[in-house]
Every structure is written in C-alpha cells, then in structure tokens.
Structure 1
Amino acid sequence: MNHDAQDLPGALPLEKASPSLIVEALKAVAGHPPGVRASFAKGHCVRGRYEPSAEAGSVTRSKSLTRPAQVLGRFSVGGGNPHVADTNGLVLRGFSVRLSNEASSNFLFENAPVHFARTLDQMLAFLRARIPGPDGKPDAERVKAFSEANPETLNQARFVAARALPASFALTTYWGVHSFPATSETGATRFIKFKIVPAGGNATFSEAEIPGLGADFLRDDLEARIQAGNVRFDVIAILDRPGDDCSDVTKRWSDEDERPGVVLGRITIDALEPNGTCDASVFDPAGLAEGIGHPPDEIFAARSPAYRISLSKRS
C-alpha cells in the first residue's frame, strides 16, 4: 500500500503550515465546537490594576510595565472544548493580560514554561496526529509514533502531568513561553522570559480530593478570592545569559528556576467581568508597547494572525 509522506507516523506535513491550518487543526482536535476560541475555549474575564516596581525600568522602558495600568484579563482552561472539566489536570491553565494606560500591551501566560512544538510545521503535525477518528478518539499508535519521532513535543505535557491539579487560578504560577527582547530605560537590550507568581503561593489538590470537586470549581474559587481581595500576582522578568536559546520554545533555559528574577510590578484582580468583554476581541500578542519586542521564534509570529482567524470564525 502506498502512503503520502505526510500520512506516515511521525512525519511532518508536506504542505507548509500556516496560521489558518493551525486554527483548523485545533478546531478539529476539539470536535469543531461552534462559536468558541480554537484554544483555551473555557475562560473567565476579569478586571484589575497593575502597579510597577521601582526596578522595572532597569529591564524595560515599556510604558505598560513601568507605569500604573488598568488590567483586562482572562483566566482559562486549555483546549478547544468549552465544557472541559476543571478537574482535568492534563490540560493547561492560562492567564491572558492586557495592560492599558497611555500605551497598551498584551501578554499570554500559561502554567507550563514551554510550548508543545518548536516550529509551525511540527505544531500542525502534532495536532493532526490527535484529530479524533470515527470512534471519537485519536489513533493511539499514530500519536505514539509521532511523539517518538518528535520527543521535544512531550516536554510540555510531561511538565503538566508531573504536577498535582491546580486548586485555584489565583494560586498558580504562569509563564510566558517565549523569549522577549527588552530594552531598558538606559537603552540596553537583553532577552527576558516572563513569570507570573501568585502572592499567596501555589496550591494544588491531591488525587483523593478531586472526586469531591465540581466541574466548574475554578470559577467559584476565583469569585470568592476576588471578593476577599486575594488575587495578586508578581510579574517577574527572568534574565538571559550568554548561550541561552531564544528561538526554541520547547526548551527551558538552563537553571531557569534558580536564576534571580527582577520583579517588574504587581497585578491585582478586583472584579469579574462579563465574558463578552473579553470575547469581543483577542489578546493580540503582537500588541506590545515599545520597550518589549517580538520574540524571534516562528510560533510567536503565527499567534497574532491565528488569533484573528479564530476570532473571525467565532464571530
């Protein structure tokens, strides 16, 4: 029997991947639910404020990060299924943020420090390997073969699977998986990675506690913590070192967790916002105030057009 190269287990697609094909594949993996985001479909819109630290200017001259700003945010659960249970510990938690003053910047964070694909072609092949068949399940052998041929695509899943179920959006650490060129107030430029650390520390549930949780417990917890004034995060810049790979989003920098970070400021979430406020547009990652540049990897370059294609499909 003859096979096209793109149909062989572990192979990358023959056709060049594009943002539109990525969105199509994300929707297919989720079963084409109508009117929702292609990824992180389940979410909750919030409002708050950002206060910069005195040290922010040593890293970036971005007005979004060096001056007080209003925050529009969205906490979310990964995947394209808007009804995914919050008890599913194998999908990501996300936190999208727009900081607005005289400038505006959008930042995208998730509770894993790496992405699941290095290139757009690899991302498309990863997703296509997981599109469900007639039985509603992906072909396990195809997924296994692709993973064996592309082992770096498991880095994200392994990171998430090794950790207990997050107990709260407000008590979870988030990362920006990309390396951003940041220019300081003195004009010096270096790469940074973002890390968002909850002021109250991290909290998780044990396996024994999960059966007693509701499918939407994260929203209930979020509402209670906002009312109590307990949703605060430090925005931290992890600084690069010579030799760091700034283009491969499937890899972490060496000793990344041990490096001293610079606290740029604090985000405080004050209120839940109607989801329509966040759903009317996208948190376009290309929208960054001067002082934070675009990362050099091709996954980031595809995000902005992919988000806009996804918005057009759900509008």
Structure 2
Amino acid sequence: MPFPSDEQIMKTAAGLVEQLQAIFGKHPGFRPAHAKGELYSGSFIPSAKAKELSIAPQFNAPETPVLVRFSNSTGIPNIPDTDPNADPRGIAIRFDLGGRKHTDIISHSTPFFPTRTGAEFLELLQHIAAGTVGDYLPTHPNALAFVQAPKPPPASFATQQYWGVTAFKLIDSAGKATFIRYHVVPEAGVHTLTDEVVKEKDANYLQEELKTRLASGPISFKILAQVAEDGDVTDNATVHWPESRPVIELGTFKLDAIVPDSAAKMKYIIFDPIPRVEGVEPSDDPLLEMRAALYLISGKQRRAA
C-alpha cells in the first residue's frame, strides 16, 4: 500500500480538524479532540531494562522532568466528566530533555483505534456528522469493535490505564530494533465506576479528585512496553498483539503538582506522536504522520487564538 504524499497528509489532516470542529463546534484556543484537560508536572526514572533496549536520553538519564496532560474525549471544552462520550480518556507525556528538546508518548484508555488510516477516520467522522454511522459500522468491523469495546468510567485519572495504539522501534547501542507498544499503568491500581455511581458525580469530578489525591502525595505510573514477535503487525493500530507477548517495564513517572497557569500552557504546547529522538523510531503505521500533521494544524490554531 503506497504511503500518501506530504500534501495528501496535510490535506486529510486539515479535513479531520474541520470535521471534528463541525461535530463538536469551534472553540478557539482548544483542541478539536480531547479539548478538556489539565497539565501536571513530575519526573521519570527509567528501568535498567530500558537502558538495554534503547539509547534514548529519557531511558538513560538518571531522571527526566515530565509534563503530563490528562484529558477527556471530544472537542467540547466543558464536557462533563460523567458523560459517556468523554471516553476514551487520554494521556500525553512529555519528556523534557533540556535545551528545548523533548519527546512525547500519547496514549488513550482503549487499547486500539477504530481505523487504520487518517482518511478512513475522516470517513468515519463524516458518517457521524451525517447521522449515518449506523449504516457505516456493520460494514467496518474495526470501527465497530472500537465503538463496542468496554469503556467504564474511571474512578480517577490516576487509576486509569492507557495504551499507545501505534508501534514504535526502540534502538539499542548495537543498532538492534525492538518493536513495542506502550502501556501506561497506574501504581494505585485500575479502578472504575459503575454507570449508576458516576451519575451522582460532579461534572468535574476527575480534575477535583486529582487535586485531592495530589495533596496526599505524588501520583505514580509505570510505563510498560509490549514486545512484538516476528510476524506481528506493526503498521495497523486496529490490530491487537496477542496477550502472550512479553511485557517489559521501561520506568516510572511520578506527578507531584498541577502546572501553574495550566490553561495558558495547554494552548501553546503541541504534543507530537512521532518520537524525533535518537533511540526511538516510528513504525510504518500511517496514523503517525497523520496525527502529527493534525496536532500541528490544531496547535497553530490554538496559538493564533
């Protein structure tokens, strides 16, 4: 399957931004997807295994500062945390490598994606906007599986697990590549709520809960990596790898504060799904370039606003 040109990627990414804004409304200064969120700060400490698998600076420095954004789905900035459409929840992790250099991990709370390409995702959004998604889903099993996947509301952003749906290559000191997918797991354990319980919660219960939790101490997550074996699909985010694949721990990050003036910083920061750092390389998954283009267009709009 030929890769789209840069011009095609930018055209489709612009179409995705426009379609998301058509569905959720235009909200200057906010993201067209995962609009509601907040930034937290902390630090990451890598494991010994991470240093063996990758020469990336975040996996070899004793400690690296991180910025982490937790978010709700949709492009609606004030969507209630209790709304089922707020799932899947998102997490974006920025490793600050110094000298204005950084690399990011972007994940969400469902372990796969509804489409393989950005063009297919745009088609799905167009059907949602037109009210014909009921006709679309039966003939698109991957999108149907995503819609039907359980998405129980979290008790806390700090007790939610998050998956990186695209594959990456960790590169070691000998140049050996290991294909992995990230899995971010809370050290407090995974805890969800029933639909009945969540109905009684406040519209901002997740943000308020994190503030209360932080007052008692840092919030901790482990960054795990599921390792592919020969023959596993590495260019399609709709395909699961078998649960029997080995999982390794890459390290732990702890969050200890809400970023001051978080709202202003969120308008400026543009997370990047492509690593752009020595020691971690993108796979051939076509979503990576598309998402990077979409985030860039969105980020420029936010900064202009």
SS in 2 for 1:166: coil
**Residue 82 of structure 2 is aligned with which of 87, 94, 100?**
87
Q: Distance in 2 between matches of 1:23 and 1:183?
A: 33
SS in 2 for 1:155: helix
Report whether the alignment pairs 1:185 with 2:187: no
Q: Distance in 2 between matches of 1:210 and 1:284?
A: 32
Report whether the alignment pairs 1:213 with 2:211: no
Q: Distance in 1 between matches of 2:161 and 2:269?
A: 25
Any idea what the Cα deviations from partners look like across 1:220-241, whole Å, max 9, x if unmatched? 0111112212410001111011
Q: What letter is aligned with 2:148?
A: R
**Residue 121 of structure 2 is aligned with which of 119, 123, 127?**
123
SS in 2 for 1:297: coil
**Residue 146 of structure 2 is aligned with which of 146, 153, 156?**
156
2:168/2:181 contact within 8 Å kept: yes
Normalised TM-score (structure 1): 0.87
Instruction: For residue 111 of structure 1, report the CA deviation from its aligned partner.
Output: 0.5
Q: What letter is aligned with 1:173?
A: Q
**Residue 282 of structure 1 is aligned with which of 258, 270, 277?**
270
Q: Distance in 2 between matches of 1:306 and 1:193?
A: 21
Q: Distance in 1 between matches of 2:228 and 2:77?
A: 36
Of stretches 270-279 and 108-117 in structure 1, the one that deviates more from structure 2 is 270-279
Q: Distance in 2 between matches of 1:303 and 1:130?
A: 20
Any idea what the Cα deviations from partners look like across 1:132-189, whole Å, max 9, x if unmatched? xxxxxx52xx111111221211222222xx2421110000110110000111233211
SS in 2 for 1:55: helix
Q: Distance in 2 between matches of 1:250 and 1:266?
A: 27
Report whether the alignment pairs 1:261 with 2:255: no
For residue 108 of structure 1, what is the aligned residue in structure 2? Answer: 106
Q: Distance in 2 between matches of 1:220 and 1:20?
A: 34
Deviating runs (4+, > 4 A) in structure 1? Answer: none
1:109/1:174 contact within 8 Å kept: yes
RMSD value, Cα: 1.7
**Residue 235 of structure 2 is aligned with which of 228, 247, 267?**
247
Of stretches 281-290 and 119-128 in structure 1, the one that deviates more from structure 2 is 281-290
Q: Distance in 2 between matches of 1:288 and 1:86?
A: 33
Any idea what the Cα deviations from partners look like across 1:58-95, whole Å, max 9, x if unmatched? 22111122321000111000111111111123421111
Normalised TM-score (structure 2): 0.90
For residue 56 of structure 2, what is the aligned residue in structure 1? Answer: 62
Q: Distance in 2 between matches of 1:286 and 1:307?
A: 11
Q: What letter is aligned with 1:260?
A: P
Instruction: For residue 287 of structure 1, report the CA deviation from its aligned partner.
Output: 4.3
For residue 4 of structure 2, what is the aligned residue in structure 1? Answer: none
2:275/2:282 contact within 8 Å kept: no
Q: Distance in 1 between matches of 2:111 and 2:255?
A: 23
Gaps of at least 5 residues in structure 2 are: 1-7
Q: What letter is aligned with 1:171?
A: T
For residue 202 of structure 1, what is the aligned residue in structure 2? Answer: 190
**Residue 71 of structure 2 is aligned with which of 76, 79, 87?**
76
Q: Distance in 2 between matches of 1:110 and 1:30?
A: 19
1:226-241 correspondence to structure 2 within 5 Å: 226-241=214-229
- Identical aligned pairs, as a percentage? 28
Q: Distance in 2 between matches of 1:236 and 1:171?
A: 15
1:60/1:184 contact within 8 Å kept: yes
Instruction: For residue 123 of structure 1, report the CA deviation from its aligned partner.
Output: 0.8
Q: Distance in 2 between matches of 1:93 and 1:46?
A: 16
SS in 2 for 1:101: strand
Instruction: For residue 125 of structure 1, report the CA deviation from its aligned partner.
Output: 0.5
Instruction: For residue 209 of structure 1, report the CA deviation from its aligned partner.
Output: 1.1
Q: What letter is aligned with 1:95?
A: I
For residue 162 of structure 2, what is the aligned residue in structure 1? Answer: 174
For residue 12 of structure 1, what is the aligned residue in structure 2? Answer: none
